[in-house]
Amino acid sequence: MKEHAPLTMKDIARALGVSVATVSRALKDSPRISAERREAIKAYAREHNFAPNLLAESLRHNRVHPVRVIGVILPQICHYYFSTILSGIEEEASARGYQLMVAQSDERYEREVRICQAFYENKVCGIIVCQAKDTVKYDHFQRLIDSGVPLVFFDRINTGIDCSRVVVDDYMGAYTAVTHLIESGCRRVAFYGTSMHLEISKNRFNGYRDALLRHHLPADDSLVFFCDNRADAEAITPDILARADRPDAFFAVNDDTAIGILYTAKRMGFRVPEDVSICGFTNGERAIACDPMLTTVEQRGRVVGEEAANILIGQVEGFLPADKVEKRIVRTRLIVRGTTR
């Protein structure tokens, strides 16, 4: 067993050479299983701290007065986009009689693993999650699914796990934004993104690159940077703007990064958007608090949250098949403001 990973009935069955159904019946003291085998299975479960997810089972079978608690894992609660998603989840869940148990991973894999275990032990009926940026191993998610806990990903989806997900149309959002920059006269568009092991990064980069190629502009690797926060943007942008072949536009993976570029460009004496155009991705409150106000791609986080809660509750209550993967895409839209021509 891996550290922090909850034991499942499937694990017990494999270890003792019996079926999952036999394990389930033995743990419920079914007379269909011999007393000797029941005791052997229960002893193994006790020894390995097995905690059956009774709440999920009660929700599947009890339509009268089930206890309804949904676990939500966010990378950061204070992040505007994630907070709007949480609002959408809460609104949909509350309307349907569910409460939330919320935790943040703080972008750390180990913490994410511990939260998954804690949610499982606290018998949540399902989990809605946006994985941490440094998560590259997915055993903790797969064990939840193997244990019968419905799981729905949002934003940063996990292609290594076959489960439901809700995302915005990252590719088209980026494609539309970069097309706007090009059609407004920009010819050297820099890309500030995050790790390419995340699907959102791949999709936004592909949208950026395809917009360049569609308009017969070169995809210049020297204009692609791994930068996804304001502090890093303020650190690296001076050297980039000091280049003889400097970019005349920036497309950033989020608004905070874009605002870091904006602050740096203005501090260096560049006019925005006359000398440098800037586009972000989020449309948070900070986008209208800067000068000039930020052109950005609106992600519609509340809708993402509502859709994620709708899927999870549907699977818990049996309206959506538990073994069917639901994939929903929320459309983005470009909000043009003062940082682009």
Q: What is the pLDDT of residues 302-316, one digit of tens each?
A: 999 999 999 999 999
pLDDT digits (tens, 9 = 90+) for 90-105: 999 999 999 999 999 9
Per residue in 187-213, pLDDT (tens digit) is 999 999 998 888 999 999 999 999 999
**Quick check: 3 pLDDT over 50?**
no
Rounded to whole angstroms, what are the CA distances from 287 to 254, 277, 280?
Answer: 10, 14, 8
Q: Strand pairing of 249-252 and 189-193? A: parallel
Instruction: Burial-class residue 162 by CB neighbours within 10 Å (0-12, 13-18, 19+).
Output: exposed
Pairing, β 333-335 against β 295-298: antiparallel
List the beta bridge partners of residue 127: 71, 151
From the CB of residue 207, how many other CB atoms can be counted at a distance below 10 Å?
Answer: 24
Q: How far apart are alpha carbons 226 and 265 in whole angstroms?
A: 18
CA 278/CA 178 separation, integer angstroms: 10
What pLDDT band is residue 157 in, cutting at 50, 70 and 90?
confident
The whole-angstrom separation of Cα 34 and Cα 174 is 61
SS3 115: helix
Alpha-carbon distance 312 to 170, whole Å? 22
Highest mean pLDDT among 7-11, 32-36, 42-46, 292-296: 292-296
**Token digits for 5?**
């990973």
Q: What is the pLDDT of residue 2?
A: 44
Sign for the pseudo-dihedral over CA of 33, 148, 136, 115: negative
The pLDDT value given to residue 56: 53
Please determine, for residue 58, whether its predicted confidence score (pLDDT) is greater than 80: no
For the chain, percent of residues with pLDDT exceeding 70: 94
CA–CA distance, 43 with 284 (Å, rounded to integer): 53
Closest CA to 193 of 223, 237, 162, 224: 224
DSSP class of 299: -
Q: 134 and 108 in contact (C-beta within 8 Å)? A: yes
Q: Using a cut of 0.85, tell me whether the model's pTM lies above it.
A: no
DSSP, collapsed to helix, strand or coil, labels residue 271 as coil
